[in-house]
A and B are shown apart, each in its own frame.
Chain A
């Protein structure tokens, strides 16, 4: 079986390389799953944690903020997963003292930057989740706006009669999105945590 170096793995994550992602999954997922299940989580929780940990590592890489000097990729991944799961346990009001630590982690990785990034990832993930629940029409329309496509062009692509209608429709879509986000209990929890 091919063994990838940490550098290869990080580069692979940065370019969304399927082989590298599969490698990470096969190599480390079961350990994360074991840890989560040992700590009152389910298989679904484990896959969520694994997924979000990779996204966080990707965000770090994008910001040029990840240098594995004192840690290996595995160590970093496990530490992030553990941190994410601790956060979940806190939300579920489960005492962290009872944690069954089966993952090798590094406490020194838990700095302010990581906490901030994890929180940002949590919020962004929530917005993206709700965006995915909008109608295809709404999603497409909003994407075009975000890509700064001229209004006239948007109306043409979407088959709307006027630019004004395209704009009104976009507001409607955004209104639905904002409403759904605000009504989400997860969002309310995030707000509570921030205050």
Chain B
């Protein structure tokens, strides 16, 4: 909201108390409603207050003058020049405990004083302190009576710290090693000239640091040449990521759940179950599935399923005959339903539980349209496609994008949703082609998802090797789909070839 008066003038006048009563009332009403105005007024008031702190301004001016005079009198750059000449200032080397100082000063100076105390024990500090002993006679700085200025100690300590920092940085510079990576490398590879070598060896005799650097370089080279160890580490890491950690077969797990495991096998199973949390979780999951379905029903159903399956297979042969009786039709319908159940329920007791179809159905979730992840798209076309996608008209999405090929072919947003639409329609090869385009494009936010959906397509098409490679790549990226990819990979391993 724009105020109906001259904003800045009014603020200034208000702060200075120059507004008329009516204007002041109006301003204050505005002030209540406008937070921005309130903060502006607050800022102005604070600035005004700061400008009126004449004592502080005077102090600053005097300090500046004192510091410049001191610099002039001591042309050498010693560390604690100001400090050593202060008669009225208790130097921190006096027997004050840190706790005393903490109670005496304000917070920032406390830290400075403490640091000062620590630093004074260092050789560097003592050295510069000796160098910086005051000259005979009094300097101009003594003429100031510092007691009348509150906080002067802090200011001087600030200067002190600045000097210390400067000194330390100079010392650090002088401590930098004479020989860097390049020279060390040349030394190790015998690439130094006679003169350089002599100089290097001279330094090597005196510098422990250089010796340890050379050792480090040698070790790094040896470590990086260990291609076999690096390879072994990768293999183990891959096994840990993709394999189940239990040492029992699927059959043994099922037998254990069914109470059919006994003797040594049962003993070994129980021993592992006690320690192996992964196995415990697997047993729990399978038990839950069984409980959901109902143990007794399954046994009965199993027998029926076997019969129905046989009949269904028989019916496939009979379909070649054009006349199908009503009874047979009904039987086929029943069989189809039963076969579905066979996969879903009967499979729990065999590796069918981890069938490709089952795994695919479990893990395929149609992505939601989130075109906002792309910044440069044709809005009208995008909206149309989005609408079609949201309405489940996947063939329309594909058609729309196909018709506008010149706009959509290089656009990862369109390509990704074209892929998703193809996948939803079961046209997995086309989906793979579109996802591959998204991945190839690289510079977009859909790559991770495209890889995940492409891996599912590969799996569904029975391209186990491609699916495994894609899933491993997803796992290695440690992204959003990492856990799902691991789960799919484990299931894939249990799917018969």
Q: Please report A residues at the B interface, Cβ cutoff 8 Å.
A: 1, 13, 16, 18, 21-22, 25-27, 29-31, 33-34, 37, 47, 50-51, 54-55, 58-59, 62, 102, 123-125, 127-128, 131, 142-143, 146, 170-171, 174-175, 177-178, 181-182
Interface of A is mostly: helix
Say yes or no: A124 contacts B249, CB within 8 Å.
no
| Contact between B219 and A127, CB atoms less than 8 A apart | yes
A128 CA to B233 CA in the complex, in Å?
10
Neighbouring B residues of A29 by C-beta, 8 Å = 240, 245
Having A131-B220, A131-B224, A171-B182, one finds 10 other A-B pairs with CB under 8 Å, namely A16-B228, A16-B231, A21-B236, A22-B239, A26-B244, A30-B278, A33-B277, A128-B229, A175-B180, A175-B181
Nearest B-chain residue to A44, judged by Cβ: B240
Residues of B207-239 at the interface with A, using a CB-CB cut-off of 8 Å, are 216-217, 219-226, 228-233, 235-237, 239
Q: How far is the CA of A100 from the CA of B221 in the complex (A)?
A: 39
A175 to B181, CA, bound (A): 6
A26 and B245 contact, Cβ closer than 8 Å, known pairs A128-B226, A177-B220: yes
List residues of chain A with CB within 8 A of the CB of B249. Answer: 1
Chain A residue with minimal CB distance to B240?
A: A47
B272 close to A (CB within 8 Å): yes
- Chain B residues near A51 (CB-CB < 8 A): 233, 236-237, 240
Tell me if B48 counts as interface (CB < 8 A to partner A). no
**What residues on B are CB-neighbors of A128 within 8 Å?**
223-224, 226, 229-230, 233
A-B contact list, 5 entries, CB within 8 Å: A26-B243, A33-B275, A33-B276, A123-B223, A128-B233
Closest residue on chain B to residue A17 by CB atoms: B235
CA distance A83 to B291 in the complex (A): 43
Least distance between A145 CB and chain B CB atoms (Å): 9
Using CB atoms, name the residue of chain B closest to A120.
Answer: B219
Q: Are B224 and A142 in contact (CB under 8 A)?
A: yes
Q: Contacts of B235 on A, CB cut-off 8 Å?
A: 16, 18, 21
State whether A124 and B229 are in contact (beta carbons under 8 Å apart), knowing that A21-B235, A51-B236, A171-B181 are contacts in the complex.
yes
Q: Tell me the complex Cα distance, A21–B243, Å.
A: 11
Output the least CB separation between A81 and chain B (Å). 13
Query: Count the B residues whose beta carbon is within 8 Å of the partner chain — how many?
Result: 37
Q: Decide if B217 touches A178 in the complex (CB within 8 Å).
A: yes
Contacts of A55 in B (CB 8 A): 229, 232-233, 236
B12 within 8 A of A: no
Q: Which residues of B contact A123 (CB under 8 A)?
A: 219, 223
Q: How far is the CA of A16 from the CA of B237 in the complex (A)?
A: 12
- B78 to chain A minimum Cβ distance, whole angstroms, is 33
Are B226 and A124 closer than 8 Å at their CB atoms? Answer: yes
**Which partner residue on chain B sits nearest A25 by CB separation?**
B239
B449 within 8 A of A: no
The contact string, 1 if C-beta is below 8 Å from chain A, for chain B 149-188, is 0000000000000000000000000000000111001000
| B279 beta carbon closer than 8 Å to chain A | yes
Q: Contacts of A26 on B, CB cut-off 8 Å?
A: 243-247
Chain B residues whose C-beta falls within 8 Å of the C-beta of A34 in the assembled complex: 275-277
A32 to chain B, nearest CB (A): 10
How many Å lie between the Cα of A83 and that of B225 in the bound state?
26
A22 touches B275 (CB 8 A): no
* Per-position binary interface string of chain B over residues 178-210, scored 1 when its CB falls under 8 Å from any chain A CB and 0 otherwise: 001110010000000000000000000000000
Query: B residues within 8 A CB of A125?
Result: 233
Shortest CB distance B255–A (Å): 14
Query: B232 to A16, Cβ gap below 8 A?
Result: yes
- Which residues does chain A contribute within 8 Å of B185, judged by CB atoms? 170-171, 174
Please determine whether B236 and A50 come into contact, CB atoms closer than 8 angstroms: yes
Name the residue on A nearest B217 (C-beta). A178
Partner of B247, one of A30, A37, A54, A131: A30
Instruction: Tell which of B180, B185, B237, B244 has the most Cβ of chain A within 10 Å.
Output: B185
- Give chain A nearest CB distance to B446 CB in angstroms: 23
Provide the residues of chain B in CB contact with A33, threshold 8 Å: 245, 275-277
- B232 and A143 contact, CB distance less than 8 A: no
B216 touches A18 (CB 8 A): no
- Tell me how far the C-beta of B252 lies from the nearest C-beta in chain A, rounded to whole angstroms: 9
Q: How far is the CB of B464 from chain A (nearest CB, A)?
A: 16
User: Quick one: which of B216, B221, B232, B236 contacts A181, CB cutoff 8 A?
Assistant: B216
- Indicate whether A174 sits within 8 Å of B246 (C-beta atoms), given known contacts A18-B235, A31-B275, A124-B229: no
Give the docked Cα–Cα distance between A11 and B216 (Å): 32
How would residues 30 to 52 of chain B score, 1 for a CB under 8 Å from any chain A CB and 0 otherwise?
A: 00000000000000000000000
* A59 pairs with B243, CB closer than 8 A: no
Q: Which residue of chain B lies nearest to A121 when distances are taken between CB atoms in the complex?
A: B229
Which residues of the partner chain B approach A178 to less than 8 Å between Cβ atoms?
Answer: 181, 216-217, 220
- Contact of A146 with B225 at beta-carbon distance under 8 Å, contacts A16-B232, A50-B236, A178-B217 already known: yes
Contact A18 B181 (CB under 8 A): no
Bound complex: CA of A62 vs CA of B220, how far in Å? 19
- Measured CA separation A112–B482 after assembly (Å): 41
In the complex, which of the residues B222, B232, B246, B279 has the most CB atoms of chain A within 10 Å of its own CB atom?
B232
| Minimal beta-carbon separation of B22 from chain A (angstroms) | 67
Among A13, A62, A143, A170, point to the contact of B224 (Cβ < 8 A): A143
Q: Which residues of A contact B243 (CB under 8 A)?
A: 22, 25-26
Cβ distance B354 to chain A, nearest Cβ, rounded Å? 17
Q: How far is the CB of B251 from chain A (nearest CB, A)?
A: 10
Name the distance in Å between B54's Cβ and chain A's nearest Cβ. 50
Residue among B181, B221, B232, B276 making CB contact with A30, cutoff 8 Å: B276
B224 touches A54 (CB 8 A): no
Query: Nearest Cβ distance between residue A67 and chain B, in whole angstroms?
Result: 21
Assembled-state Cα–Cα distance A142/B275 (Å): 44
Question: Which positions 239-262 of chain B face chain A at CB distance < 8 Å?
Answer: 239-240, 243-247, 249
For A175, what are the chain B residues with a Cβ–Cβ distance below 8 Å? 180-181
Whether B216 and A30, one on each chain, are in contact in the complex, defined by CB atoms closer than 8 angstroms, is no
- Nearest chain B CB to A139 CB, angstrom units: 9
